[in-house]
């Protein structure tokens, strides 16, 4: 599994509608990929916020934003190690 595969499964992962075999692959990827780990962490916090506010629905716009952010970081990691993870993944204006 690579980052693209992982991100494709991200909403399933959070919905809990994921095949156990895939879940194992997702967890394996998270163990090796700091970028995706950050995405999961950020998404989890965001979901908590949404849950507290109103009926929960995974926002597609957020999903797209996270995907773009992580792909950018994965590309950058070829040149930069331990790139500082800034708050670009966090929701704004909410």
Kindly list the residues in this chain that would bind Zn ion in the complex (CB under 5 A).
3, 33, 35-36
- Report the residue number, 50 or 74, with the smaller CB distance to Zn ion: 74
All residues at 6 or more sequence positions from 31 whose CB lies less than 8 Å from its CB, including other chains: none
- Report the residue number, 33 or 62, with the smaller CB distance to Zn ion: 33
Minimum CB separation from Zn ion for residue 44, in Å?
Answer: 16
Minimum CB separation from Zn ion for residue 60, in Å?
Answer: 20
Q: CA–CA distance from 94 to each of 28, 62, 86, 90, 91 (Å)?
A: 33, 12, 18, 10, 7
Minimum CB separation from Zn ion for residue 69, in Å?
Answer: 12
Contact yes or no for 89/39 (Cβ under 8 A): yes
Contact yes or no for 36/30 (Cβ under 8 A): yes
- Report the residue number, 36 or 62, with the smaller CB distance to Zn ion: 36
Residue nearest to Zn ion (CB): 33
């Amino acid at each position: 599994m690579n980052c693209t595969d992982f991100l494709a499964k991200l909403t399933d992962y959070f919905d809990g509608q994921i095949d156990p075999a895939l879940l194992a692959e997702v967890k394996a990827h998270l163990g090796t990929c700091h970028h995706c780990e950050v995405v999961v962490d950020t998404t989890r916090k965001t979901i908590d916020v949404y849950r507290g506010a109103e009926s929960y629905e995974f926002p597609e716009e957020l999903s797209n934003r996270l995907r773009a952010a992580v792909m950018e970081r994965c590309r950058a990691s070829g040149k930069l190690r331990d790139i500082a993870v800034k708050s670009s993944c966090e929701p704004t204006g909410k």
